[in-house]
Structures are given as structure tokens and as C-alpha cells.
Amino acid sequence: NAGVTQTPKFQVLKTGQSMTLQCAQDMNHEYMSWYRQDPGMGLRLIHYSVGAGITDQGEVPNGYNVSRSTTEDFPLRLLSAAPSQTSVYFCASSRLADYNEQFFGPGTRLTVL
């Protein structure tokens, strides 16, 4: 199994540009989520999904959109990038039952100029 994969690893955007961060998992996990990691703030939940066609907002959803058309994929879209969105983004997945631990991808480092 590849686990949780994320692309790209690095990205530089200009203010106002849009882009999609890709996330895929091959473990048939129902639950998927996106976090951003900023120094001194830990990880903050952006959006999450408990299954295909179901998404919900986390702690910091503004400026981000998600969709879940398949179990495997959970892309994160930045509609109009802002410097405040400069961060490291992590995707994670887990089984929905039994309060299992989440498996994290390697991250995407995004810089918005």
C-alpha cells in the first residue's frame, strides 16, 4: 500500500491565483481530512469528510473548498490564494469505526507571495 499520498510537495503561488492540492489514499478509509500546520499553532483542521459525497467544515475553513467524489480522493482547493495561506498542508485518513488513529500524508509546503 502507498498509504496517503499528496501532490505537489512544494508550490509557490502569487496572491489571487487558484490551485488544487491533491490527496489520495489506498486503504479504503472512510474518513479523510485536511490540516494546516503553522509554527506554534499545531495542526488546525480545515475540512473533513466521513465518506464519498459528504464533507464538513473544520476549525479554519475560510478560503478553502473540498469535495469527495470517491472514497480514495479528497482534493483541497484554494480559490484565491492569500499570503495568510502560506503553510504546510497535511492530508490524513482513517477508518471511521473504532476511533482509529489517522494516517498522515507527507505534506505540501505552500508559499503565497
Strand pairing class (108-112; 10-13): parallel
The smaller minimum CB distance to other proteins, of residues 74 and 107, is found at: 107
Kindly tell me which residue out of 7, 96, 111, 113 binds other proteins, with binding defined by CB under 8 A: 96
d(C-alpha 92, C-alpha 102), whole Å:
6
Residue 50 lies near other proteins (rule: CB under 8 A): yes
Q: Which stretch binds other proteins (CB under 8 A): 20-28, 64-72, 73-81, 95-103?
A: 95-103
Kindly tell me which residue out of 1, 14, 62, 99 binds other proteins, with binding defined by CB under 8 A: 99
The smaller minimum CB distance to other proteins, of residues 30 and 72, is found at: 30
d(C-alpha 61, C-alpha 82), whole Å:
14
